[in-house]
Amino acid sequence: MDQTTEIAEAAASQTPRKVFVKTYGCQMNVYDSQRMSDALSESGYQPTDTIDDADLVLINTCHIREKAAEKVYSQLGKLQKMKRLRAAKGRDLMVGVAGCVAQAEGNEIIRRAPVVDLVIGPTTYHRLPEAVKRARNGEKIVETEYAVEDKFEHLPATNREKTRSRGVTAFLTVQEGCDKFCTFCVVPYTRGSEVSRPLAQIVDEARRLADAGVREITLLGQNVNAWHGHGTDGTAWGLGELLYHLAEIDGIERLRYTTSHPRDMDDRLIEAHRDLPKLMPYLHLPVQSGSDRILKAMNRRHTAADYIALIERIRAARPDIALSGDFITGFPGETDRDFEDTMELVRAVNYAQAYSFKYSSRPGTPGAELPDHVSEEVKADRLERLQALLMQQQTDFQKSRLHMTFDVLVEKPGRFQAQFVGRSPWLLPVVIETKSHDNLKIGDIIKVRITNVGTNSLHAETV
């Protein structure tokens, strides 16, 4: 090896490598992407927001719907071309696939997209630095066996400076996996069975977030209200008790959680909505259908009447709560009557926000084997009608905020000078027009009055 080559290699070894993470899907994937970035930083990788600067591209995937998976393969096709161009210039590019598509398809990803160097599932992110090291040495890595060890014990804690750079709101995973086995859903097969993080881990992370300036924490889980653990008093705790405990942490002024299952909405959790000012009056509680026949086929294990009675109890505890939900149209066997039952449930509940989709058959789920699949045309027609009703309810809810006065957490600067953007207690974005003497800072919780209502946001002035 000549001297010039030695100098070049030495310089390259001292230059930090960069990782670009592309995230699809839910808030938990956002959280996981951050933790993967933290884990790689200890191996010398710096995060970058520019894919062209990256030495490693990680795609954190979602497998809930067919189109989400296809987006991943489309992205991998673009990365194949990018990798060839890099090679022509003498530069390397590594490509990894993480998340639920990785867990579900494993070796099939490498067969279908040879550009991929490593595949890693959600339970093994703590092994990512070692997997990257092996892949850099030429191995094709597939890490999709469910880890026996607790990944959270092995993932490095996010340092204070990095947490500060991510803002005054943060996600915190408290529960992973699902034991519900809804017949339309792949989550039990891609995320595994329900696992709750220990209380001490959660509290430690929450305190570190508070110390770094985070003021609002959203607790995450595939079935977040299924969280359970041993409390400080030695008794069994559920999510309600956890929220009471986290509300005592200085610096944390707002708490939220998502996503919930109606079957796990117990009395103590409802009481927390009544008793804790820090727990924001917003609840995402998916129902999927208003037809008891379809709910049974989905294996939801509750009826429409059960769900509505639960909503009434929650609203009695917290009258100003805003409700959000998930809906599927065109599940196998859904008739016009079943769909109308869903529309009736939506009218009865009156949602502030909701997510709705056409049924997407996922291979390996029981729903894919059911007879009487609904045509795409009927699915689309029902979805359009449902979304029109949900949008009208959302618009009505937003209009009802006009001229109201309430507290907003200031999260970031707005698009224009003297503008800031924050979130209302009901999760709606609020654009705040400030006055010269306001002296607002990111992280302030301020009182505003709503002056105008946009399509997806509110506009306010300071009070």
Residues making up the annotated binding site are 26, 62, 100, 178, 182, 185
Distance between first and last Cα of the chain: 70
Q: Which residues are annotated as a binding site for [4Fe-4S] cluster?
A: 26, 62, 100, 178, 182, 185
3-state per-residue secondary structure call for 121-190: CHHHHHHHHHHHHHHHCCCCEEECCCCCCCHHHHCCCCCHHHHHHCCCEEEEECEECCCCCCCCCCHHHH
Q: Residue 365: count other Cβ atoms within 10 Å of its Cβ.
A: 18
Angle CA 315–316–320, to nearest 5 = 45
Q: Name the β-bridge partners of 46.
A: 18
In b/e form, how buried is each residue of 89-117, taking b as 16+ CB within 10 angstroms? eeeebbbbbbbbbbbbbbeebbeebebbb
CA dist., res. 54 & res. 65, Å (int): 28
Sequence-separated (6 or more) residues with CB below 8 Å from residue 386: 327, 329, 339, 342, 343, 346, 356
Which residue, 127, 126, 122, 115, is CA-closest to 56? Answer: 115
Structure tokens at 441: 């800072």
CA dist., res. 296 & res. 244, Å (int): 34
CA distances from 292 to 83, 244, 303, 306, 339 (A): 51, 34, 5, 10, 11
